[in-house]
Amino acid sequence: MLPLLGKTKTMILTYSSSFITHLLALPPTSASTSTRPVSSLLHRSPQGFFGSILRYKLRGYCSSRVNRGEFMASNIKVVQNPDSISYLNQREAAEVDEILMGPLGFSVDQLMELAGLSVATAIAEVYNLKDYNRVLTICGPGNNGGDGLVVARHLYHFGYKPFVCYPKRTAKPLYTGLVTQLESLGIPFLSVDDLPMNLSEDFNILVDAMFGFSFHGTPRAPFDDLIQRLVNLQNYNEINKKPSVIASIDIPSGWHVEEGDTNGDGIKPDMLVSLTAPKLCAKKFCGSHHFLGGRFVPPSIVDKFNLHLPSYPGSCMCVRIGKAPQIDISSMRENYISPEFREEEVDPDPFLQFQKWFDDVMAAGLKEPNAMALCTAGKDGKPSSRMVLLKGFDKDGFVWYTNYGSRKAKDLSENANASLLFYWDGLNRQVRIEGSVQKVSEEESEHYFHSRPRGSQIGAIASKQSTVIPGRDFLHQEYKDLEAKFSDGALIPKPEYWGGHPGCMIGYVIFLKKVDGKSDVWLHDYHSLHHHYKIPKF
């Protein structure tokens, strides 16, 4: 994988109230191949993402892809075909619980905790804090209500502002303990009389945790009234105000566990989080978001009931069932709100300024802050973009790696001009770097290649980017053969097609202006002034 280094010396800052765009550009340095080691300005702490590499004082390096397949963030959802998933009837659901809490050794509070966390995670997946901050959880007297109490606690720790309505409290220690936990967090408990008739007046999300699959008969007071208030929300059409969304736990309260909303006048939740496995009534769910939660079903249960359940991605506690709702792309927008960015706060040294911004990103805990889009174009002028990882920078430029046989390397051999783009969503900021590129020294490429894990070294030899191969099995076999060849721990030679390019960024931008957001690339609902700053050449 071939290292590419960009070097810059002028900066443009484009600031849109809270969305910031920055361009770095520097006058050219010598076009000769760089041979000296470069001291990076990035943190040398082992906790930093450059930790081990920076001990060698190299510019830093990365593969030509962002390896997101090697891990799954908690907010990644997998969509499953609902027709391929098993659904339980009431008897089967009860039997599953009996086995879990009998011979398999699960306790009620353990299952309740896992279920509540699953529901809270699903809610956080769909409903962002900015628009859906206030959450009312309506809890019944049984296990479904206990799940709701756990949901409220986790939503509090996720940053939401939860409220709980728990009109028929259960005196068992498990439930009183859950109440004590919520009270210790200062979460308000509201009586039915405290609630407005129109729940949308005070709350953005309503968690229906009244009754589960074991409920029989007709709901009695006060739950009949509470269910009716949820039903009434679907007729709520007040101008300029949207109704609260309803998230039901396992079963929409009042529904028949197998036949669903038999009368057609029951709760119509926006979200349903089925637990353990979906119940038959879930086939009648017509809301936008159906999730499965309760990641604890052991193989013996799966085999006994012949369950076909979706796989949970990574460390996720919930998985989406069915297609995600259709979205009008033209209506998607965000209001970018951040602290005011002042011209006098810009460091005249663009690399020190970049370091400050990078420190901000690290402090904010953003994932892979070194991920950046690299755009190249060959002699035909057709642009091509891909994600790579920054592996270091200093006063001469920025470094990353790829393969000589890749399209990006071919483009750069024909046209040395390229651009980088960092997008730091959590800070509403992006940084652009533009200019030309040149190779790093063979010595530096060798040094970095042998600092990589052996598996990565073997992968670089086995994978000849942008070449046609018979199939995936061929690539896997190549890797296995090389793995066996170097199993004795011998030095793995760097392939000839694996090397690097340092480069120099050129170009100057001389302006200071304000642009109306409506005519700029970034369109915002409000706060639409864009500020462009130039840091003088130094």
φ, ψ (nearest 5 deg) of residue 338 = -145, 170
How many Å apart are CA 4 and CA 410, to the nearest integer? 12
Binding site: residue ranges? 143-147, 208, 212-218, 250, 253
**pLDDT score recorded for residue 439:** 72
Residue bearing the bigger pLDDT, 335 or 253: 253
The total of other beta-carbon atoms located within 10 Å of residue 142's CB is 17
- Partners of 138 in the β-ladder: 165, 208
Count of alpha carbons within 13 angstroms of residue 494, beta-carbon side: 20
Per-residue pLDDT band for 67 (boundaries 50, 70, 90) equals very low
- The H or E element that residue 149 is part of is helix 143-157
**pLDDT score recorded for residue 144:** 95
**pLDDT score recorded for residue 366:** 86
Per-residue pLDDT band for 341 (boundaries 50, 70, 90) equals low
How many Å apart are CA 495 and CA 462, to the nearest integer? 10
In angstroms, the Cα distances linking 376 to 101, 137, 417 are: 59, 52, 7
Closest by CA position to 6, among listed 345, 382, 418: 418
Per-residue pLDDT band for 337 (boundaries 50, 70, 90) equals low
The total of other beta-carbon atoms located within 10 Å of residue 405's CB is 16
Q: Which amino acid is at 366?
A: L
φ, ψ (nearest 5 deg) of residue 208 = -85, 100
φ, ψ (nearest 5 deg) of residue 2 = -95, 120
Residue range 467-495: average pLDDT? 79
- Partners of 397 in the β-ladder: 394
Q: Which amino acid is at 229?
A: R
DSSP notation for 446-502: HHHHTTS-HHHHHHHHH--TT---S-HHHHHHHHHHHHHHTTT-PPPPPPTTEE-B-
**pLDDT score recorded for residue 503:** 37
Token pair 């849109």: residue: 16
Q: Are 204 and 127 in contact (CB under 8 A)?
A: yes
Least confident of 114-118, 213-217, 408-412, 457-461: 457-461
If DSSP states are collapsed to H, E and C, what string results for 183-208?
A: HHCCCCECCHHHCCCCHHHCCCEEEE
Average pLDDT taken over every residue of the chain: 75
Binding site for K(+): residue ranges? 144, 208, 253
**pLDDT score recorded for residue 147:** 97
Dump pLDDT digits (tens) for 74-87: 444 455 677 788 99
Binding site for (6S)-NADPHX: residue ranges? 143-147, 212-218, 250
% the chain with pLDDT above 70? 70
Dump pLDDT digits (tens) for 381-402: 999 998 888 877 877 778 877 7
Dump pLDDT digits (tens) for 286-303: 999 999 998 889 999 999
Closest by CA position to 266, among listed 236, 219, 231: 231
Dump pLDDT digits (tens) for 422-472: 898 878 788 888 878 877 777 776 777 677 788 777 776 777 666 677 777
Name the burial class of residue 10, with classes exposed (0-12), middle (13-18) and buried (19+) by CB atoms within 10 angstroms of its CB: buried
**pLDDT score recorded for residue 347:** 82
**pLDDT score recorded for residue 348:** 81
**pLDDT score recorded for residue 89:** 93
DSSP notation for 395-457: TTEEEEEEETTSHHHHHHHH--EEEEEEEEGGGTEEEEEEEEEEEBPHHHHHHHHTTS-HHHH
**pLDDT score recorded for residue 72:** 33
Residue range 102-110: average pLDDT? 94
Q: Which amino acid is at 355?
A: Q
**pLDDT score recorded for residue 80:** 64
Q: How far is CA 204 from the centre of its chain?
A: 23
178 token code pair: 């859950």
Q: Are 7 and 505 in contact (CB under 8 A)?
A: yes
Q: Are 9 and 27 in contact (CB under 8 A)?
A: yes
Q: Which amino acid is at 516?
A: D
Question: Phi-psi bin for 435: left (phi > 0), alpha (psi -120 to 50), beta?
Answer: left
How many Å apart are CA 41 and CA 518, to the nearest integer? 37
Residue range 483-500: average pLDDT? 73
Residue range 222-238: average pLDDT? 83
Per-residue pLDDT band for 343 (boundaries 50, 70, 90) equals confident
**pLDDT score recorded for residue 190:** 96
> What is the radius of gyration, based on Cα positions, of the chain?
28
438 token code pair: 């040149």
How many Å apart are CA 294 and CA 297, to the nearest integer? 7
Q: Are 99 and 301 in contact (CB under 8 A)?
A: yes
**pLDDT score recorded for residue 340:** 65
Nearby residues of 47 by Cβ (< 8 Å), 6 or more positions away? none
**pLDDT score recorded for residue 425:** 82
Dump pLDDT digits (tens) for 135-163: 999 999 999 999 999 999 999 999 999 99
**pLDDT score recorded for residue 241:** 62
**pLDDT score recorded for residue 23:** 54
Token pair 């082992």: residue: 46
Dump pLDDT digits (tens) for 250-282: 999 999 999 999 888 899 999 999 999 999 999
**pLDDT score recorded for residue 333:** 67
- Partners of 272 in the β-ladder: 248, 290
If DSSP states are collapsed to H, E and C, what string results for 1-60?
A: CEEEEECCCEEEEEEECCEEEEEEECCCCCCCCECCCCCCCCCCCCCCCCHHHHCCCCCC
Closest by CA position to 387, among listed 369, 364, 361, 413: 369
Residue ranges of domains in the chain, CATH in brackets: 2-71+337-450+494-535 (2.30.110.10), 82-323 (3.40.50.10260)
**pLDDT score recorded for residue 63:** 33
Residue ranges with strand state E in 283-428: 289-293, 318-321, 371-377, 383-389, 392-394, 397-403, 417-424
**pLDDT score recorded for residue 20:** 44
Least confident of 51-65, 225-239, 249-263: 51-65
**pLDDT score recorded for residue 475:** 75
375 token code pair: 């755009």
Dump pLDDT digits (tens) for 408-418: 888 888 998 88
Residue range 86-101: average pLDDT? 93
% the chain with pLDDT above 90? 39
